[in-house]
Amino acid sequence: MGMVALVVGATGLVGRLVTAELLDREEIEEVRVLVRRLPDVTHPKLKPILVNWEELDQYSNAFAGVHSVYCCLGTTIKKAGSQQQFRKVDVDYVMKTAELAKQHGVRQFLSVSSVGANSKVRNFYLRTKGEVEEGLAGIGFWGLHVFRPSLLLGERPEQRFVERAASMLMTTFDFAFKGPKLAPYRAVPALKVAKSMVNIGLADMKGYHVYTNEVIHVLGDAAD
């Protein structure tokens, strides 16, 4: 029998691509997605599970028999409406997902973070991402993989004007993002992040690993 994978945040930019990548892999027998609304795609391997994120404990059985969880949850303060609501999505939901995964013996947990994530910095967004990374590290997964991409390139379900403008600018000047100071901030196609995550999940490596933006670029190219 093949592996069962579970994706949270499956309707977002990276989550949609991770889901598609998993569905395309022979090693994967079933792809479960925890969603608030049914996805607009169907596939024999795809199993959508409608959830209320405020009562995630009620869907604990969704993690039973799962080999790898791909956590692509994330929002913006503007979309969330406040720092408190932002933390609910980017911290509370992520940690609850991880706790349920651990309870059910999930072997691999893969999570999207951000370049510059650090629990000690003043920037609220980066500090929050750093806190989540530390929380995940304390759970004790057999394999934990944290991906720290820079600005993500790709078509989002919703329009984000500032991100679209930044993407155009960074794509135009991509050639200039070289060297130790600028390479870590080079924009990265979301598809590279998705391919990197799926390949690492299937590799079934033990331990806690952090993948920087530069490494994601390399892994994404190698996955093509």
- Catalytic positions, please? 125, 129
Three-state secondary-structure class, residue 103: helix
Rounded Cα gap, residues 85 and 209, in angstroms: 28
Helix (H) or strand (E) holding 213: helix 213-222
**The tokens of 17 are what?**
């691509």
Q: Pairing relation of β-strands 152-153 and 68-71?
A: unpaired
How many CA atoms lie within 13 Å of 111's alpha carbon, on the beta-carbon side? Answer: 30
**Rg of the chain taking only CA atoms, in angstroms:** 17
